[in-house]
Structure 1
């Protein structure tokens, strides 16, 4: 282990700020994974009112084509959006502009571990020189490498050296 000889005080390391200029078209940002649990389904249902037997009733879900309960589609989308923010690339977001082309491709089961990937497909400046727009295409990928959901999302992001967004 090395020490900081300039000081006995610990160094404080923070996540570096990311700006509009820090991503180029074609870059892929990969977020951390999270394993989906029963608690996620029950909590999501309680928060949103999306109380559907396919997600909460084991006996009913066993009779469906999935053979078991599956995660809510909007939960999967929200988890992918949330996990990608852990990368630090979304610290300077001024506004979320929306979603497009949401597709649920595979069921998400309790015990699946999801990891988001977001590829920058468009980066354009706005009329205000202090901000730009990113459009990303997202993939939520399970532990088997299968893509379970895709969507596009756009954000207004501060540009480097901007003081007013």
Structure 2
């Protein structure tokens, strides 16, 4: 047993455990956040196309895609962007979002193929107080990378976050 910490003694606490409850004060400018990875499958492309109506042959038609500069089907750019946002959400830092304020500077840099695993490295570009009481603003610069370190997409996104 280490001091009075019940967890170090192997004793359960009555406090529920779950996703971290992060607030605006928990990140400062310059902080770097890494996400888990996700392997892109055929199902991602087909479901995204069905959900959005983005039925472009480059994403769905193997014969057509084989004749393009990529030589195979590629993931939709907006799918990659959405997965990047979603992977960051899974880090727990966005549990107290009040509002999503938008995207800036979206760039599709390289293709994402079926079988590629993407993850996000994001840096807090801005962490500023808001004029509204009880909230602050984060602007996060996202870099989406493949398993080999190739950057596939970059963008910035801003959020209004509850303060403690």
TM-score calculated relative to the size of structure 2: 0.91
Q: Does 1:4 align with 2:13?
A: no
Gaps of 5+ in 1: 161-165
Distance in 1 separating the partners of 2:102 and 2:16: 35
Deviation at 1:6, TM superposition (A): 6.2
Match of 1:140 among 119, 140, 144: 144
Match of 2:51, SS? helix
Alignment-derived partner of residue 163 in structure 1: none
What RMSD in Å do the two structures reach over aligned CA positions? 1.6
Q: Does 1:104 align with 2:116?
A: no
Q: How does 1:1-165 map to 2 (within 5 A)?
A: 4-5=10-11, 12-160=16-164
Distance in 2 separating the partners of 1:6 and 1:59: 58
How far does the alpha carbon of each residue in 1:43-92 deviate from its partner, in whole angstroms, 9 at most, with x for none? 00000000000000000000000000000000000000001000000000
Gaps of 5+ in 2: 1-7
Deviation at 1:12, TM superposition (A): 4.2
Distance in 2 separating the partners of 1:147 and 1:6: 43
Distance in 1 separating the partners of 2:94 and 2:115: 28
Distance in 1 separating the partners of 2:12 and 2:132: 43
Are residues 6 and 87 of structure 1, via their aligned partners in 2, closer, same or farther at CA, if it must alter by over 3 Å? closer
How far does the alpha carbon of each residue in 1:77-127 deviate from its partner, in whole angstroms, 9 at most, with x for none? 000000100000000010000000000000000000000121100111111
Number of aligned positions between the proteins: 157
Deviation at 1:148, TM superposition (A): 0.3
Match of 1:59, SS? helix
Deviation at 1:4, TM superposition (A): 3.4
